[in-house]
Structure 1
Amino acid sequence: MLVDRRATMTVRLLGADMDLAGAQEAALAQGRNLCLVGEELIQFETADRIGPETWRLSGLRRGLRGTEWAMAGHGADERFLLIEEERLVEPLALSGGGGEVGATLRVAAVGLGDGTPVEAALAIRGEALIPPAPVHLRARAEEGGCTVSWVRRSRAGWRWANGGDVPLAEEREAYRVQVLADGSVMRSAETMLPTWTYDAGMIAADAVAGETIMIAVAQIGTMAMGRTASILIDP
């Protein structure tokens, strides 16, 4: 999570009778003021009305729930959705069925003033199945090579409550490590530990000595490959 006190966000709600409110740290820790902006999950600390339907949001908590990959590239007229836990509905659970990633789900809603249902078609993307990218990648020189280490995250545990490891949430702990030079994959490996050594023999075989290369790491999930984190090194 990144606390962004420099940027602000201006949103326009559907009606002047709709309100937003600020929240203190304790309430934010409980999930208050969570919203989806584009593809990024954000919380806001302060909400100021600047027009009948327009609000300026500040004190932003960015990249929540592993959505830091969506922090770049925001533009005007993106969707803004305030997420209130008590109003969330799991449509697949209600229907008593399941859904495959890539399938289309059709939902219909009827408001108090609607004569006919409003329908929408949603693609099942399986975002909740993707392990988040590892964090705190570090590289240290070691006997002509280097050792890269990282800290895993979990799609089932976002709050570090007891100082211990977050739950694994996968059938096994495993990572895919790739070595890239000029965008080309020079080597791919799998490790069961949050560390991997790129030794002198590998560096010589890949002919990358003296070049700037990228080490990319992704957790191998039970249902999907995780998002990638990377670090640049000069072996």
Structure 2
Amino acid sequence: METSELYGYLRGYGITHVDTARAALQPLMLTFGFDVMERAGQLVFRSRSEHRPSEVDRGALVMAPDSGTAIDYSRAASAEISDRVRLNYVEADGNFEIAASEAVFPENETRDISTSELNIALKEEEARAIVERWLIEARVGRDRASFALPPSLGHLGAGDVVKLAEPGGLASYRIDQFEQGDQGLAQAVRVDETLYEGSSLAQKPLELPAATPITPVFPMFLDLPLITGDELPHAPYIAATAEPWPGPVAVYSSRYDADYTLNTLVKSPAVLGVTLAPLAAATPGILDHGAPLVVELTRGSLSGVTPEALLAGANLAAIGDGSQDNWEIFQFQSADLVAPGRYELSGRLRGQLGSDALMPAQWPVGSYFVLLDGTPEQIELAASGRNTLQYFQIGPVARPYSDYSYRKLSAAFAGNGLRPYAPVHLAQKWDGADLEFSWIRRARLDGASWDLEEIPLSETQERYQVKIFSGAQLLRQEEVHQAQWRYSAAMQSLDGAQGLLELQVAQLSESFGPGLFRKFRFTI
């Protein structure tokens, strides 16, 4: 194989199916203008710009046996030649998208287009030079010549270019077919050698799109109470963020850290951040006018709402320590931008959706903030998967979960949409030496209507778990079926109850167990 006269720069070429070597080379021959010929049992690759034409005197030609003339000329009909050429190619610059380049003669009015598709990476100016060359080649190549060469010119063959004298001067013809015998019978097509010289087209500077790196996302699970009542009560939410956002995020899951399957697609980043100031506890159900909560977001923005919108449920958010269970739900009326990505939140409604029992004395600096604007989505979780360890691989959907950009997490979810709210308005009164405690239950479903005479039960039966503590020591645990309980003098004596004690009450659910406990301190 001889390639010393083959020149060109190939940026990329895709072969999509198995075929012959000739079929694979043909698109490259058309694009870069080179020929492959056989010489002395060897394949010779030669760029057409390297052809050295041989002048052949008409007197040296011999009479062809069939025609009786030394040379026959012919011209293809105009209808066989396309005057508009289009090339679809792979754009070498940027994102390797499919691009097109087209050339047409100025006087052309036809709408017929000769279209070629090449799986070759080209720059725009290269593609333009190729279609312009093809267009001229097609018009010049209408002229053909047939002639017979004597044995003295037997060194010529297919792929060689000869110059023949014509009335207007010398004309170049490339031999496309050659039959060797007593005479060399040649079929040749006219060529313009200047077409294969270096292109004078100006090259545009390379403009690559800004690279967007694939970075690991930051995912967070939130096992929340019911928000609208239409959710799956046992399924947790997932919120994810990244800067830059890599596009849709895939959540793969498994019960045994192998054979992961796609669980959920997170289409948009959550508005998620951390607190830069502590948030002290406040009375639920009353506007908290304490010091603003300072939040710094990873991305996204916050805005204030009217009092009416606030009371209708707007600007719902969660604050927590990052564990899936420990989230207080609150709302905020004002969001003041004090620095890029940093907001001061005020006019807060605390302990919403029964999360008041989770409110600590203070949420510290560095607590997580998640806006519950509908972006965090519930993952797929069977009811039987509650309280069972689940494994997750979370990362850009464009990458496999074995990629470095994926985060691996494991968690077990209680299904807090099933969790009963903590009772409220605990009270005590003495009846002789006995203590009577009472409380009011709440409903996790349909309990917000002012028209109801009684709070909906939301459970199959009314049951409560009651505990008495002396410091950290559990003195007594009872189950009752009404919103009151008598701590008799006999029980007190048996428990050794005296001094400062604590009553804890939680509603019981057949599907969840004890809900959140309400605590009440008293003295005997």
When normalised by structure 2's length, the TM-score is 0.40
Q: Match of 2:47?
A: none
Shift of the 70–121 alpha-carbon distance from structure 1 to 2, 3 Å rule, reads farther
One-letter code of the match for 2:307?
A: E
Shift of the 121–166 alpha-carbon distance from structure 1 to 2, 3 Å rule, reads farther
Shift of the 46–147 alpha-carbon distance from structure 1 to 2, 3 Å rule, reads same
Q: Please state how far the C-alpha of 1:22 moved relative to its aligned partner.
A: 0.9
Structure 1 residue 136 and structure 2 residue 425: aligned?
yes
Q: Please state how far the C-alpha of 1:191 moved relative to its aligned partner.
A: 0.7
Q: Match of 2:386?
A: 100
Q: Match of 1:61?
A: 349
Q: Please state how far the C-alpha of 1:162 moved relative to its aligned partner.
A: 2.1
Structure 1 residue 19 and structure 2 residue 307: aligned?
no
**1:23 and 1:105 mapped to 2: Cα distance?**
39
Q: Match of 2:364?
A: 75
**1:90 and 1:110 mapped to 2: Cα distance?**
18
Spell out the pairing of 1:214-229 with structure 2 (5 A cutoff): 214-222=502-510, 223-229=512-518
Percent identity reads: 26
Q: Match of 1:8?
A: 292
Structure 1 residue 40 and structure 2 residue 328: aligned?
yes
For residue 92 of structure 1, give the secondary structure of its aligned residue in structure 2: coil
Q: Please state how far the C-alpha of 1:107 moved relative to its aligned partner.
A: 6.2
For residue 227 of structure 1, give the secondary structure of its aligned residue in structure 2: coil
**2:452 and 2:372 mapped to 1: Cα distance?**
28
CA-to-aligned-CA distance 1:154-199 (integer Å, 9 cap, x gap): 2224524324333222221101112222332222211100000112
**1:178 and 1:168 mapped to 2: Cα distance?**
22
**2:412 and 2:313 mapped to 1: Cα distance?**
24
**1:205 and 1:185 mapped to 2: Cα distance?**
13
Name the structure, 1 or 2, with higher relative contact order (CA <8 Å, separation 6+).
1
**1:80 and 1:230 mapped to 2: Cα distance?**
26
Shift of the 216–98 alpha-carbon distance from structure 1 to 2, 3 Å rule, reads closer
For residue 202 of structure 1, give the secondary structure of its aligned residue in structure 2: helix
Of stretches 29-38 and 152-161 in structure 1, the one that deviates more from structure 2 is 152-161
Q: Match of 1:169?
A: 458
Q: Match of 2:31?
A: none
* Of 324, 330, 337, the match for 1:49: 337
Q: Please state how far the C-alpha of 1:142 moved relative to its aligned partner.
A: 0.5
Structure 1 residue 154 and structure 2 residue 429: aligned?
no
Q: Match of 1:212?
A: 500
Shift of the 89–204 alpha-carbon distance from structure 1 to 2, 3 Å rule, reads same
Query: Does the 8 Å CA contact 1:178/1:186 hold for their aligned counterparts?
Result: yes
Q: How many residues get paired? A: 227
Query: Does the 8 Å CA contact 1:43/1:62 hold for their aligned counterparts?
Result: yes
**1:23 and 1:134 mapped to 2: Cα distance?**
30
Of stretches 55-64 and 217-226 in structure 1, the one that deviates more from structure 2 is 217-226
One-letter code of the match for 2:340?
A: P
Q: Please state how far the C-alpha of 1:98 moved relative to its aligned partner.
A: 5.5
Q: Match of 1:121?
A: 409
One-letter code of the match for 2:477?
A: S
Q: Flag as ranges the 4+ runs of structure 1 deviating above 6 A.
A: none
Q: Match of 2:73?
A: none
Stretches of structure 1 lacking an aligned partner (at least 5 in a row): none
Query: Does the 8 Å CA contact 2:447/2:456 hold for their aligned counterparts?
Result: no
Answer with 1 or 2: which has the greater Rg: 2
Spell out the pairing of 1:173-192 with structure 2 (5 A cutoff): 173-192=462-481
Shift of the 98–189 alpha-carbon distance from structure 1 to 2, 3 Å rule, reads closer
One-letter code of the match for 2:444?
A: R
Q: Match of 1:30?
A: 312
**1:32 and 1:109 mapped to 2: Cα distance?**
30
